[in-house]
Amino acid sequence: MRDEELERPSVHEYWFVKLSKMTSLTKRGALIVFEGCDRSGKTTQCKKLVENLRNKGITTEFLCFPDRSTAIGKVIDSYLKKEEELPDRTIHLTFAANIWENEQKIKSALQNGVTLVIDRYAYSNVAYSAAKEAMDFKWCTLPATGLPKPDVVFFLDMNMEAMEKRGGFGSERYETTNFQRSVYNNFKKLIDKSWKVLNADQKKDVLHEEILTNALSITENVKNSEIGYLW
Ligand code: NYM
Ligand code: MG
């Protein structure tokens, strides 16, 4: 068999691709991101959303950053556990690389009609790194340039006074009330029209209803639109 014969799609493949393009059979998935300070309830809401979207027949996958499973993620994990010291700019770029190593996976999922629910994204990197002294806010945004832009960012907005009273953080780096306050102020600087600021102090189920309603309309609205890019 000659090479060009091998390359040629079958009649079925040819018409499948052509018809898919004509009728947009594969509508794209939505990129849904959760952001917020530590202990704002993101993980709980993400898991619930994945479950509820799947129950509605929407193909949905869950991702979280940092993705501690990769080689790069392992460096981040030991940094967060204070087992390793790294210069502020170095760890910033490492967190960014951890998202970039998932970029193709994210894009192809969306293009194949899979909706993604992501627990933290590039916004966390800016908010946490820029909370450190001598880290320039604008500089912190640069490494994320060109990453797929979320269709919606659900920001779990906690009352800072209540958070300070409650305390009870873990022992990882950044888990102090003072640091969280600066992180919170940085998140506020990142808000754009793709963000939905939600009151994280209300009952979990009530909050979830609001998230689910918004997420369902987003998954419907993005179907025929192009993926956007940061920033
Ligand atoms: N964090 C997370 C960053 O500093 N930069 C980033 O890019 C991301 C994604 O990691 N305190 C910080 C925020 C958290 C910590 O995340 C671990 P989590 O969601 O608490 O496991
Ligand atoms: Mg945490």
Mean pLDDT of 49-54: 98
Measured over the CA atoms of residue 41, residue 173, residue 176 and residue 142, the dihedral's sign is: negative
- How many angstroms separate the first and last alpha carbons of the chain? 49
**Gap between the Cα atoms of 143 and 158, Å rounded:** 27
Position 165 scores a pLDDT of: 78
Q: Among 231, 222, 180, which Cα is nearest to 28's?
A: 222
Nearest-10 Cα torsion for 71, 89, 186, 209: -10
Query: Ligand 1, atom 7: nearest CA belongs to which residue?
Result: 125
CA distances to 28, 85, 123 from 105, rounded to whole Å, are 14, 30, 19
* Ligand 1 pocket, mutate which of 94, 128, 153, 175 (most atoms under 8 A from CB): 128
Position 5 scores a pLDDT of: 52
The Cα diameter of the chain in Å comes to 74
For the cut 90, the answer to whether the pLDDT of residue 163 exceeds it is no
For the cut 80, the answer to whether the pLDDT of residue 13 exceeds it is no
Question: What is the rounded average pLDDT for all residues in the chain?
Answer: 93
Query: Ligand 1, atom 14: nearest CA belongs to which residue?
Result: 38
Position 19 scores a pLDDT of: 66
Measured over the CA atoms of residue 175, residue 178, residue 179 and residue 182, the dihedral's sign is: positive
SS3 117: strand
How far from the centroid of its chain's Cα atoms is residue 52's Cα? Answer: 18
Structural element, H or E, at residue 163: helix 160-166
Mean pLDDT of 172-195: 96
* Ligand 1 pocket, mutate which of 80, 163, 175, 182 (most atoms under 8 A from CB): 80
Of 14-18, 126-130, 199-203, where does mean pLDDT reach its minimum? 14-18
Q: Among 155, 91, 89, 158, which Cα is nearest to 120's?
A: 155
Give the ligand with the smallest distance to the CA of 68: 1
- Those residues whose beta carbon sits under 5 angstroms from the ion ligand 2 are 38
> Facing residues of 153 across strands?
33, 195
Distance 66 CA to ligand 1 centre (A): 6
Position 98 scores a pLDDT of: 99
Q: Among 191, 229, 193, which Cα is nearest to 110's?
A: 229
CA distances to 164, 169, 173 from 177, rounded to whole Å, are 6, 8, 12
Q: 46: exposed, middle or buried (C-beta count within 10 Å: 0-12, 13-18, 19+)?
A: buried
